[in-house]
Chains A and B, each alone.
Chain A
Amino acid sequence: MTPYIVLSAILFAIGATTVLVRRNSIVVFMGIELMLNAANLSFVAFAKLNAAIEGQLAAFFVMVVAAAEVVVGLAIIVSVFRSRRSVSVDDENLMRH
């Protein structure tokens, strides 16, 4: 199961780097999704390792929560885009001043 966990770590790091590097908030959001997916992969791997179905259940709940999170997050992005005509994370600086 070790390769699966390493793959999960690599995908998680790629997702985290995406969040740090990209400026488009939608792509940043995709990086978050990739991190959730990477965590799911290790959940499933450990579920098989221990023959415990609870790992798969946790991955399932992560999926559901990710779906809810995406709905709200994209709604926020759309409403920000409406008022500021931009999806770049550099432009959302209202709270800075």
Chain B
Amino acid sequence: MSHLAVLKAAAAAASSTGVSTAQMVLFWIVGIIAVLAALGLIFARRAVYAAGCLIVTMVCLAVLYVSMDAPFLGIAQVVVYTGAIMMLFVFVLMLVGVDVSDSFTELIRGQRAWSIICGLGLVLVLGGVAWRATLPATIGFQKDQDNITTITNALFGDFPFTLEVTGTLLIVAALGAVTITHRQRLTARRGQAELAVSRVAAGTQVSPLPAPGVYAGYNASDVPALDPSGNVIEQSVPEVIRLRGQVRRIEQFEQAQLPSVRPGEAALAGAPARPKPPSGTPPVPGTRQPAPLGDGAAAAEPAGPAAAVPDSTTDSDPAKGAKEQGGEAK
């Protein structure tokens, strides 16, 4: 015990405050961010923004933990709080509706003002006590002490029973959550067969709704499909997009969205319409007919598009023309 006391005294002498300047700079930066983000919890209108502010505060606290020789807790803070707990919060927010904003009507008169006064009073009392208190000199952990090893020794050596009780608590909590959210079915389950029968009885559309439109340069669920006579089918766009007014109009796609030059279009611009080259079949007769298939060398040579064109006087590709000539020479 005595050498421990000596070590502690030495550490205390080495750093009277125990907090280096860099640590204080970090504290002021991170602490101010944490307080501002925490204030967002009070003032943010929407619950999602409040959740975001709380996440920022928790990450700031994780930074402070790491700076205070508690790297394990800092990582656990990020993983458990911002990773698991806040994810759960955001998930439940999504379940109950993201757009739920607070009602600011007071049922108890003057409650908000009194709450803020009480909060300020709490800051004054707690902060004043902490500020006025004379704390002993910071001892701080030894540099050769591995934080995780120390925590593990304490956790499994000194408090194994607490650890097991905590594990039991987690299991009970998970079971309890499942039990609480379990819903007993009050009405008969409406399966696919019942839904189909009710749909036919109601006389509404029995077949599936049409799929959204697919255009040449664009397809997404916000463009309506067209019926055979070219009219827009409003029902083909999902209802959510329709309600939000995000449906794109057909006029936007007629000229603007199509690619200006498509393959072959440039050749088509100057030349009269050419027939497509046949694939594999004997070429159409013409003035420059390729060699018959019986010739091995000529047959092995792949016939380009120009080879199949009966009238290639307007062919703009000289290389293919030369190639065709070579094929004929063989």
Contacts and interface: CB of A to CB of B under 8 A. Distances in A.
A binds B: yes
Interface of A: 1-18, 20-24, 26-27, 29-31, 33-34, 37, 40-41, 44-45, 47-51, 53-54, 56-57, 59-61, 63-72, 74-79, 81-82, 87-88, 90
B126 A74 contact: no
B31 A7 contact: yes
Interface string B82-111: 001100110011011000111110010001
Given A5-B130, A40-B61, A21 B112 contact: yes
Given A2-B131, A44-B73, A61-B162, A72 B180 contact: yes
Given A6-B127, A13-B122, A20 B115 contact: yes
B139 A27 contact: no
Contacts of B64: 4, 41, 44
A70 B94 CA distance: 16
A29 B89 contact: yes
Interface stretch (B38-46, B240-248, B285-293, B319-327): B38-46
B122 A12 contact: yes
A88 B73 CA distance: 34
B236 interface: no
Nearest to B104: A23
Given A21-B115, A75-B180, A70 B166 contact: no
23 contacts: A1-B138, A2-B133, A3-B24, A3-B27, A13-B123, A21-B42, A21-B115, A33-B54, A40-B73, A44-B65, A44-B70, A56-B73, A56-B147, A60-B151, A60-B155, A66-B81, A67-B170, A67-B173, A68-B169, A68-B170, A71-B176, A75-B177, A79-B180
A78 B91 CA distance: 11
Contacts of B18: 1, 48-49
Given A10-B123, A56-B151, A75-B181, A30 B41 contact: yes
A84 to B, nearest CB: 11
Interface string B168-182: 011011101110110
A65 B169 contact: yes
Contacts of A54: 154
Contacts of B169: 64-65, 68
Interface in B125-144: 126-127, 129-131, 133, 135-136, 138-142
Nearest to B129: A9
Contacts of B42: 14, 17-18, 21-22
Nearest to B126: A9
A34 B136 contact: no
B64 to A, nearest CB: 7
Given A48-B69, A63-B81, A67-B85, A9 B130 contact: yes
Contacts of A74: 88-89, 92, 177
Given A15-B41, A50-B136, A60-B73, 5 more contacts: A15-B38, A22-B102, A48-B70, A50-B139, A71-B176
A30 B54 contact: yes
B68 interface: yes
A82 to B, nearest CB: 7
B305 interface: no
Contacts of B162: 61
Interface string B34-73: 1100110110000100110010011001001100111011
B136 to A, nearest CB: 7
B119 A20 contact: yes
A61 B27 CA distance: 24
